[in-house]
Amino acid sequence: MIGVDIGGSKLAAGLVDDRLRIIKRLQRSMRGQDTAALLDTVAGAVAELVSTAPREVAAVGFGIPSLIDRRSAASLMAVNLPLKDVRFGALMSERLGLPVFVDNDGNLAALAEHRAGAGVGSDHMVLIGLGSGISSGLILGGELYRGAIGAGAELGHMVIDLNGPPCQGNCPNHGCFESLASGTALAREARAAAAAAPDTALGRALRDGRELDGPLVTELAYDGDRAARGVIELIGVRVGVAIANIVNIFNPQLVVVGGGVMGAGEMLLEPARAELARRALPPLCKLVRVEAAAFAHEAGMVGAAVLALDGLAAREVRL
């Protein structure tokens, strides 16, 4: 199988065996590309993996941060990519000459964690991926829940602040979870905290012209800088607010938190759990665990391979 995880600015593709071990990986930047260039980059990356595979590749799974219409494998719209009304599955299948399966990146990360990661044995599980945006996926009753046409579980666009900041890209809303707790939001809060506390390491980093992104803020927080720690805690509290909503609605056993921002680990999860305990209905918040994802950056890729494996198996059953 080949699993392809298409992110907001880059793709990660991997050759994955039937036991979900990644045999070979490659990455490509897609920054600033229009639809045609993006499709070329994706098809080129897969073709390169196919050409170096030791055995014939049976199928390709794609995870895309967009609303997917499962009936046609089309991308209806993406908040952060030029993929509006693109017949992604059909185009890729034509270009690659292979069976192609397409799903939302958050759904696939949930599938990977449920099948082989932190969620093994938890049939009521929610995944949240904190990256440049926020992806998410729901496993309910042991199955991925996708909604009527497959576009469901966009928990990143749940409003957690009625008067919050505008959301990103093509989302018309404001005060979304994504606009308040993604890596992008973390960087914005870090700039504000640095300006307000120029005598801290975070403040000095701003003065030195460094980019206050997730990895730098996390590093400074681990070093004990109070301003950087404050930013991580603020994001953690907001994650806890969102999880309280999720727990009240779905009563999951487990909430798995992944994505690039989770480099902060327990520094972020501890305030999240405390906020969850303050806000969720008491019996429910005692029954749920909030844990870090097992697959750091590779959940989408592994989940895409699971999607392809399951998709082929379902076809064989139908035949």
Chain residues in the site for Zn ion (CB under 5 A): 157, 167, 171, 173, 176
For Zn ion, give the closer residue by CB, 75 or 80.
Answer: 80
Minimum CB distance to Zn ion, residue 136 (Å): 12
- Cα–Cα dist 119/105, whole Å: 17
For 18, 39, 93, 206, the CA distances from 50, given in Å and listed in that order, are 16, 16, 13, 44
Minimum CB distance to Zn ion, residue 153 (Å): 14
- Cα–Cα dist 224/230, whole Å: 10
For Zn ion, give the closer residue by CB, 187 or 292.
Answer: 187
For Zn ion, give the closer residue by CB, 99 or 169.
Answer: 169
Minimum CB distance to Zn ion, residue 64 (Å): 17
Minimum CB distance to Zn ion, residue 172 (Å): 8
Minimum CB distance to Zn ion, residue 159 (Å): 8
Please name every residue paired with 86 in a beta bridge, in sequence order, or none if there are none: 75
For Zn ion, give the closer residue by CB, 54 or 172.
Answer: 172
Minimum CB distance to Zn ion, residue 170 (Å): 9
Per-residue exposure over 4-17, b if at least 16 CB sit within 10 Å of its own CB, e if not: bbbbbeebbbbbbe
Q: How many helices (H) and strands (E) does the chain have?
A: 11, 12
- Cα–Cα dist 239/70, whole Å: 29
Minimum CB distance to Zn ion, residue 183 (Å): 15
For Zn ion, give the closer residue by CB, 165 or 198.
Answer: 165
- Cα–Cα dist 186/215, whole Å: 10
Please check whether residue 136 is in contact with residue 127, taking contact to mean a CB–CB distance below 8 angstroms. yes
DSSP string computed for 198-254: TTSHHHHHHHTT----HHHHHHHHHTT-HHHHHHHHHHHHHHHHHHHHHHHHH--SE
For Zn ion, give the closer residue by CB, 122 or 179.
Answer: 179
For Zn ion, give the closer residue by CB, 105 or 291.
Answer: 105
For 6, 7, 26, 202, the CA distances from 10, given in Å and listed in that order, are 6, 5, 11, 27
Helices 214-222 and 226-250: crossing angle in degrees, nearest 10, is: 110
